[in-house]
Structure 1
């Protein structure tokens, strides 16, 4: 997209600055949530993960709304969301630019942590699948005890070589 024919007003720049501030706060909290998720995955605390997952989904939706709002604001001026465009809009606002750099860093951290948690989930699922397969194969074996609790010989039936 091309540069806007009319530069953004100070109100538009302020709106972008507020969106970036909100996104930085939300991303920081999201990174903390991903750290808690990692700890719960390592500990195997499934019930706590269910609750955390609900919070994670809600926070993701909030972040998506902020991103959508940023896209709409820039789109009104015919601009695509890019680092260059945002830096152009925020020229002369060093604190907001520093916050934008923080957003970019937090976004990278979020991607990395989310990928790590995905690997932990995959490992946990593989472990659970192996345990389930072991249990299911054991279920195909005859019971070791009868209804009265006495041990049973495994393999019963006739002896080899007998008629």
Structure 2
């Protein structure tokens, strides 16, 4: 019976990086879920913390990606889906995890785009409200400090005939 060759140290390292990337992407998706919930609720104050978490998670994902890239190049492969599939051809569990990484990365891209759209809509609503408030500030006051109505003019302008 022909046993498959045991994974090399580089294959094992690649498997660990792919596993870590999948976990990080899962956590990134959870952050995006929380962000969407806050945006839908209109709880914009909490978005600062979410943005900080997203940035930190992104840095961690970038670090894993960079490590994976260096490893593949050192192994003499390009940085592509095909290269990972070739290197891990005899490691079906790693390939399954790699498929998960690809699926989660697509989900993260789509969720981030959706949240970006929600942010733009919220900003548009805020801009419209601000425009109304600024417009109202340019109109003369209708009431004085005592709450009495002020005349708003309508008479002749001095110096006109």
Determine whether 1:84 maps to 2:82: yes
Provide the C-alpha distance between the structure 2 equivalents of 1:86 and 1:53, rounded to a whole number of angstroms.
Answer: 31
Give yes or no for the alignment of 1:158 onto 2:148. Answer: no
Q: Deviations over 1:48-84 (max 9, x none)?
A: 1111111110000000000000001011133221111
In 1, the alpha carbon distance for the partners of 2:114 and 2:76 equals: 37
1:113 Cα deviation after fit: 0.2
TM-score under structure 2 length normalisation = 0.90
Q: Distance in 1 between matches of 2:71 and 2:100?
A: 20
Aligned-pair Cα RMSD in Å = 1.7
Matches within 5 A, 1:5-16: 10-16=8-14
Equivalent residue number for residue 127 of structure 2 = 129
For residues 119 and 97 of structure 1, the distance between their equivalents in structure 2, rounded to whole angstroms, comes to 33
Q: Distance in 1 between matches of 2:84 and 2:130?
A: 51
State the shift of 1:46 in Å: 1.4
Q: Secondary structure at the match of 2:66?
A: helix
Alignment partner, residue 15 of structure 2: 17
Q: Which position in structure 1 is the counterpart of 2:25?
A: 27
Q: How many residues align?
A: 153
Unaligned runs of 5+ in 2: 1-6
Question: Normalising to structure 1: TM-score of the pair?
Answer: 0.89
Q: What residue is the counterpart of 1:54 in the other structure?
A: 52
The superposition leaves residues 105-148 of structure 1 with CA deviations (integer Å, 9 ceiling, x where unpaired) of 00010010001011111111111111111110000000121122
Alpha-carbon distance between aligned partners in 1 of 2:36 and 2:65, rounded to the nearest angstrom: 25
Residue range with higher mean Cα deviation, 30-39 or 143-152: 143-152
Separation in 2, partners of 1:30, 1:42: 18
